[in-house]
Structure 1
Amino acid sequence: MNLALFDLDNTLLSGDSDFEWAQFLISKGVVDREIQEAKNIEFYEHYKAGTLDIYEFLNFQLSPLTRHSRAELDAWHREYMARHIRPIIGAPARALVKQHLDNGDLCAIVTATNSFVTGPIARELGIPHLIGTIPAVDLANGAFSGAPRGTPSFQAGKIERVEAWLESLGLWWDSFDDSFFYSDSHNDLPLMRKVKTPVAVDPDDKLHQYGTEQGWKVISLR
């Protein structure tokens, strides 16, 4: 059996699910366009530079979830999937996932984006496991608190979260004949170095240079 791990944003998606969620909320008048877009640009520049403070970003990212009921958020998410996500899932990405599923590989999305946003996307792709940043909830009413719970699945945190998931299944890295991780970002280098077969997907400049030097496979899903 093989292990196949997939980054989501700008890897399986031809875009960023968190950015698209923000744009959707702007279109609904839920958040202020000027403030949201300015902060998104600022955080994205830090992300590209590898200097993102993930907790500061998550506080900003998760705060809109706290002001609305789960029923309302779920209804919005269905609209968001139709308008913003399905159009950026390309046939090559679906084919890659299907190839691994048909092979009987254990498949998971590993993403820093929160699991409220990404859970339905994983189901749309037919990927049975999701390792995403977990938004904390108020156990009394199920509402989101605006904070993350546990370790965010970002940079080296992705290794910690994947290993905890594997252990929960009674598995470990050497349980697999081969292990793959597909990603576009140099922020994912820690996990890419951990698997046997790292694959750079439409990579950023830093990942492209590093992957080329290491002889990694480079593909496009666009």
Structure 2
Amino acid sequence: MNPPPRHQPGRPSARQDLRRRSTLAGEAAASAAEVESALDIAADPTAAAFFDVDNTVMQGASIFHLARGLHRRNFFTTRDILGAAYKQMYFRVVGVEDPEHVAEARNSALSFIAGHTVQELEELGEEIFDEMMAHRIWPGTRALAQLHLDQGQRVWLVTAAPIEIANIIARRLGLTGAMGTVSEHVDGVYTGQLVGEMLHGPAKSEAVKALAIREQLDLSRCSAYSDSFNDLPMLTMVGDPCAINPDSRLRAHAKEQGWRIRDYRTGRKAARFGLGVAAVAGAVSGAVAAGLAVKGRRQG
């Protein structure tokens, strides 16, 4: 058996590199978190609510619905998306931490729309929201977000989906704004690189932290909503965490901590989401979330 690779002095470890990239992703997401309604003066300016999107605000993975819409428009091939999903699942299951391997997997996964324009993705995103996302919004979660708005608090989405799509969802729901995965682009054209990491797990908490500093929020007065145990870093940094349609690990943790729990699924749907989404959509949408944010080929 070959010995595990040793960490080289002076070279950041995989954990340190992930922390650095997560911080960069969070700061980039926070700086991009603006829509027109964000310019309004909130009646309660130090309190806000942060909502995860997939299975929290919307049934299923937003990036999966987006991918279906783009695929129908010949934006990329079935082979492209399956290849990225395989690489994402492999590294999640095997847990490889070699920075070079992780970087290679990330760069492979982020490979769908380099060369396409930001305007192109935004225009298609508007169409796809109407076709595949609008009817999948959970009414119960939408009502919770409206309660915060009615109390004069601002409401942001926090999602691994590309920021362009996150902004569309926030705008259509009348929310303050959104924080999502930020893709590098030059002169409005995607370069094929992310700014930091995907906005996932620790990166979400970094985004909330950066936004709280910018907007002078009191996190002890803020709320956060998610379905996933992976969002624990975000949930634990606010004074009012709530589990929405939770996976089994988050449900157990929320019960132990005395957090609010809301489940808008039927029993049958809950079982299907708990198993299927964690095993499949987590890997597939994770790969696509990154991939849609950055490498591809021009049509024609």
Q: Give 2:228's aligned residue.
A: 185
Q: Give 2:263's aligned residue.
A: 220
Pair 93,41 (structure 1): closer, same or farther in 2 beyond 3 Å: farther
Kept in 2, the 8 Å contact 1:202–1:220? The answer is: yes
Q: Give 1:210's aligned residue.
A: 253
Pair 157,70 (structure 1): closer, same or farther in 2 beyond 3 Å: closer
Task: Measure how far apart 1:66 and its partner are.
Answer: 1.8
Q: Give 2:200's aligned residue.
A: 154
CA distance in structure 2 between the partners assigned to 1:97 and 1:56 by the alignment:
38
Amino acid paired to 1:201 = I
Structure 2 residue aligned with 1:86, among 112, 134, 137?
134
Task: Measure how far apart 1:14 and its partner are.
Answer: 0.8
Classify the secondary structure of the residue corresponding to 1:30.
Answer: coil
Pair 62,20 (structure 1): closer, same or farther in 2 beyond 3 Å: farther
Task: Measure how far apart 1:45 and its partner are.
Answer: 8.3
Amino acid paired to 1:205 = S
Structure 2 residue aligned with 1:2, among 47, 72, 75?
47
Q: Give 2:172's aligned residue.
A: 124
Task: Measure how far apart 1:82 and its partner are.
Answer: 1.1
Percent identical = 30
Pair 186,115 (structure 1): closer, same or farther in 2 beyond 3 Å: same
Query: Gapped runs of 5+ residues in structure 2?
Result: 1-45, 266-300
Task: Measure how far apart 1:4 and its partner are.
Answer: 1.0
Task: Measure how far apart 1:38 and its partner are.
Answer: 5.5
Classify the secondary structure of the residue corresponding to 1:84.
Answer: helix
Structure 1 residue aligned with 2:190, among 141, 144, 159?
144
Kept in 2, the 8 Å contact 1:5–1:181? The answer is: yes
Q: Give 1:195's aligned residue.
A: 238
TM (norm. structure 2) is: 0.64
* Structure 1 residues 19-98: aligned runs within 5 Å: 19-37=64-82, 39-40=84-85, 43=88, 59=107, 62-98=110-146
Q: Give 1:166's aligned residue.
A: 212
CA distance in structure 1 between the partners assigned to 2:157 and 2:123 by the alignment:
23
RMSD over aligned Cα, in angstroms?
Answer: 2.8
Q: Give 1:18's aligned residue.
A: 63
CA distance in structure 2 between the partners assigned to 1:57 and 1:95 by the alignment:
39
Amino acid paired to 1:146 = G
Query: Gapped runs of 5+ residues in structure 1?
Result: none
Pair 182,77 (structure 1): closer, same or farther in 2 beyond 3 Å: same
**Relative contact order, higher structure (CA 8 A, sep 6+):** 2
TM (norm. structure 1) is: 0.84
Amino acid paired to 2:192 = G
Pair 23,46 (structure 1): closer, same or farther in 2 beyond 3 Å: farther
Task: Measure how far apart 1:117 and its partner are.
Answer: 1.8
Kept in 2, the 8 Å contact 1:54–1:154? The answer is: no
Classify the secondary structure of the residue corresponding to 2:175.
Answer: coil
Q: Which has the higher strand share?
A: 1
CA distance in structure 2 between the partners assigned to 1:54 and 1:218 by the alignment:
35
Q: How many equivalent residue pairs?
A: 217
Q: Give 1:114's aligned residue.
A: 162
CA distance in structure 2 between the partners assigned to 1:11 and 1:59 by the alignment:
28
